[in-house]
Amino acid sequence: LYDPPLRTVPSAGALYPFEIYIVANNVEGLPLGIYHYVVLNHSLELVKPGDFRKEITNAGLKQEMLGDADVTFVLSAIFDRVRHKYGERGFRYVYMEAGHISQNIYLQAVSLGLGSVSIGAFLDEEINQLIGIDGRTEAVIYLHAVGTL
């Protein structure tokens, strides 16, 4: 039985197709690196240690805010989580949910006095490789840079 923990964003059928990664560039108490958000215990697991500012900027079509941001949220989708129930229409629901998640990031950033920008222009294969996913069963569809103003 598939019984995912509930989250603070609307999701078609409560199927939650998203995985969230972060590229931490300047987060107090968190070493530089790429992390995956673990929903079950609200924690971060290290995917790759290191400084990835240059790589995220290059893969983001040289958009400097990606390297300058304190953190970049990388939203990836596992489309089959919704396609099994909604067929091809599930793709639409995934993209709607990306907007809901991004709105939550914007709202939280503002409440903390931080700037934020969502980014849809990037090189898919490079971003997928950077966070270590295949781009087929799971693929990055949105980036969201957050940092001090």
Q: Confidence class of residue 70 from pLDDT cuts 50, 70 and 90?
A: very high
Could you report the per-residue pLDDT of 109-137, keeping only the tens digit for each? 999 999 999 999 999 999 999 999 999 99
CA distance 46 to 22: 10
Quick one: pLDDT at residue 129?
Answer: 98
pLDDT for the residue 2: 57
